[in-house]
Amino acid sequence: MRGDDAWLLDMLLSARNAVGFAAPLTFPEFEDDHLRQLAILKSVEIIGEAASRVSEETKAKHPDIPWTQIIGMRNRLVHTYFAIQLDIVWKVVQDDLPPLIAQLEALVPPEPE
């Protein structure tokens, strides 16, 4: 069975992926790049799915992480895939994921060398 460390690592890696996929793009380029849209949407979806699996105890210890919003974003992407607002996804990747990455880096144990 996977523990919180694994879910937090999944969140961190997927957040880094989403930011990295978006890094070379402007918003108009993102709007026109279906492949990157799918990659970023899947990364954000994984962040939310992993967050939903983090224990309530860990979530309570880290109330500064917006767990409910992260999980809610995943649910919107999955259940209303036909009405995704790319400007909101873009804002999340640009504004919300970099601070989340910093928060998660402080929680995820370093990988052995």
Pure H helices in the chain: 4-22, 27-32, 34-53, 56-61, 67-79, 86-91, 97-107
Residue 29 one-letter amino acid: E
Single out the catalytic residue among 34, 36, 62, 79.
Answer: 79
- Tokens 């994921």 belong to which residue? 97
- Residue 103 neighbours by CB under 8 Å, 6+ apart: 62, 64, 65
34 among known catalytic residues: no
53 among known catalytic residues: no
Single out the catalytic residue among 34, 53, 74, 76.
Answer: 74
- Residues marked as catalytic: 74, 79
